[in-house]
Amino acid sequence: MAKMKAARVAAREAPVKSPTLENRRARYEYEIVDTLVAGIALMGTEIKSLRTGSGASINEAYVRIREGEAWLVSMTIPTYKEGSFSNHEPGRPRKLLMHREQIERFAARLSEKGLTLIPLRLFFTPPGTDGLKPGVVKILVGLARGKKTWDKRRTEAERDVKRELERVARR
């Protein structure tokens, strides 16, 4: 009995490395104007597949607002290996859980030319986060404007200068 209690306490205190998906290409391709953390409606097998870290991708995904609802399109979550007949479709659209005011605000901004909504990061909420249950899947969505080629070159040049300064400072 004492062994089981000790194991439960150790499991509670041990930091759990939760899988995180980053859309690093988005920060290079787009200028991020505004961001928002939203929930995402997933099936049980999708959660299990994300927890195993089995190759999910948000790189080609984008957010589409239809009939007052925000939908994440083209996000790929591979099927869960141990799933049965209730397994999910890998590329199905997934509903984002946002307040109506947030959806309306982003819908108004999307009417501007050149703006789009893209996912930047998908993560599990860590334990101890105020107001949130631990282990809930959240997605960081960014309102983005496409960069021109010269913007990308300038970003690369700034990154190279920063890297060189860090290299010199270490010596």
**pLDDT value, residue 5:** 67
Question: Phi-psi category of 106—alpha, beta or left, where left has phi over 0 and alpha has psi -120 to 50?
Answer: alpha
The model carries a pTM of: 0.79
Is the Cβ–Cβ distance between 30 and 40 less than 8 Å?
Answer: no
Give pLDDT, residue 160. 93
Q: Which residues of the chain have pLDDT under 70?
A: 1-18
Write down all domains in the chain, each with its CATH number in brackets: 17-170 (2.40.280.10)
Question: Which pLDDT score, from 0 to 100, does residue 88 have?
Answer: 85
- The whole-number pLDDT of residue 134 equals 84
Residue 16: the pLDDT is 54
Q: What is the DSSP letter of 148?
A: P
